[in-house]
Amino acid sequence: MAASAKILLFKSKTYKDGKHPVLLRIVIDRKPKYFSVGSNLKCFPEQWDSELSEFNKTFPSYKQANINIRTSLSDAEDILLRLQRNDPNFTHVDFEKQFLKKNQKIYLFEYMDSIITRLKNSDKIGNSLIYSTTKNALKDFFVKEPELKEITKKNLQMFVEHCQSKGLKPNTISNYLRTLRAVYNKARNEENFDYYPFKNFNWKPLKSKTQKRAISKVDMIRIMNFPAEPGTSLFDARELFTFMYLCYGLNFSDLAKLEEPNIYQVDNLFILKYERSKGGKLYEIPLDEKALRILEYYRENNKDSKYIFPILNEDIHITPKQINTRIKTAIKKFNADMKTIGEELEIPVKLTSYVSRHTFASVLVKAGADIFTISEMMGHSDLQTTKIYIQDLDFTEKIEASKNLID
């Protein structure tokens, strides 16, 4: 079947300002049909070169405009060739489906706003904040809102350099780019969008070694035994840190949301059961005597609340946003108290909520537990993530391990 594509000035239609639209004409089996190549692509007859089928120098930004129409023409010709190869009896409808898909316009900030709204509506406040922060960083870089298909690998690299010039750390820049990559993946999965600028993108310059977060088992026990009066913030920090450590490195946000139904009993064994806020994975953790003693203390001293631990107040922290804001405030206070404990015990690592999770993994691997078991206990989807938590072996262990080279 004969088919052709051409860009032309469509003089049969005239706008109020006297301009005519520039359209793509597709002829299939001698029947023409016209398609838009951009709502802003219109001009006066004297601004159009009919022989070359392009804008002349009198048209504003004619070079970029001509690039745009040539791209549309090239896309159309590729689609026609593909259709002729796959189905000789294709129609204008077949062409239109593929052309509109190829030329769909998805604007970055508008699309990110739709993602943010969906996250908020599904009570994923933390994730929505990540997208909002990334959007603000991108708005600071781009002069005007780009379409997703306008962002190139060069733009990504220039964004990295822009962030570096502002003194941002590699991890922060990497988080921005991973979020942007997630935007493209969502567009590809949900909008049938087929453009992707991250192919073969070089992530290595953004990979910095994470500061050591794990402490030794000896220091962990010293924290457990740190003298603190019940009812003080240092006492609560010590007990919560210990409970998180004993519960496979329980996340602070998940700790704050624990309620009595999260604890159940099987024979003489008590189990903590919860879904992690990050990823929604289900955890079931058998509780040892120390963890149970901590639970009993807060059951007795926080019994007027539906929450086990004294972090959230159900009468005040009601909406997901209120809960998220309260947890962020509480974790700052918790980290400040843990820093005080660490300084008094002269522990060389700055103590934060993350240290309990890293220490849990580190202590187990040093005790001989295999990485597969640790990965399962921590709920990781791959071993590579687990390796990040257990990468810090101190010099004593390295020296002992190296003795096998000659002994």
- pLDDT tens figures, 337-393: 999 999 999 998 899 998 988 888 878 777 776 666 666 666 655 656 555 555 554
Q: Tell me, what's the pLDDT at 390?
A: 53
**Alpha carbons 63 and 46: distance in angstroms, whole number:** 16
Q: Tell me, what's the pLDDT at 55?
A: 96
DSSP state letters, 103-151: T---BHHHHHHHHHHHHHHTT-HHHHHHHHHHHHHHHHH-SSPPBGGG-
pLDDT tens for each residue of 254-267? 999 999 999 999 88
Domains of the chain: 3-102 (no CATH), 108-206 (1.10.150), 217-401 (1.10.443.10)
* Amino acid making up residue 95: F
Distances (CA, A) of 338 to 229, 236, 309, 350, 355: 15, 10, 17, 8, 10
Handedness of CA 136, 140, 143, 148 (dihedral sign): negative
Q: Tell me, what's the pLDDT at 370?
A: 63
Q: What is the DSSP letter of 32?
A: E
Q: Tell me, what's the pLDDT at 402?
A: 40
Given a cut of 50, the residues of the chain with pLDDT beneath it are 393-395, 397-399, 401-407
**Alpha carbons 117 and 128: distance in angstroms, whole number:** 8
What is the pTM assigned to this prediction? Answer: 0.57
Q: Tell me, what's the pLDDT at 127?
A: 87
* Amino acid making up residue 144: K
Find, among 376, 361, 366, the residue nearest to 249 by Cα: 361
